[in-house]
């Protein structure tokens, strides 16, 4: 049988990006603002991962 591996870092990035998107998306066009904030958060966390 195949095995299932879960990358914890991916879960952390997804959770933090979603949290920042929900908290930061205020006002009009919440979907676009949330998507941009989530993408920027994920990018920053991936860059930080390279330094760890």
Residue 38 buriedness (CB in 10 A; 0-12 / 13-18 / 19+): buried
Of 52, 30, 26, residue with least CA distance to 8:
52
Instruction: Tell me the three state secondary structure of residue 29.
Output: coil
Higher pLDDT residue, 51 or 27? 51
- In this structure, the number of other CB atoms found within 10 A of the CB of residue 13 comes to 20
CA gyration radius, the chain:
14
Please write the tens of the pLDDT for every residue from 2-32: 676 667 888 888 888 888 888 887 777 888 8
Chain centroid to CA 16: how far? 5
- Sketch the domain layout of the chain as residue ranges: 8-51
What pLDDT is attached to residue 43?
A: 86
1 — pLDDT class (breaks 50, 70, 90): low
């Amino acid at each position: 049988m195949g095995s299932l591996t879960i990358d914890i870092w991916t879960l952390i990035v997804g959770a933090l990006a979603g949290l920042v998107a929900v908290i930061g998306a205020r006002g009009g066009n919440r979907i676009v603002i949330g998507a941009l904030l989530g993408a920027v958060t994920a990018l920053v966390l991936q860059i930080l991962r390279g330094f760890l």
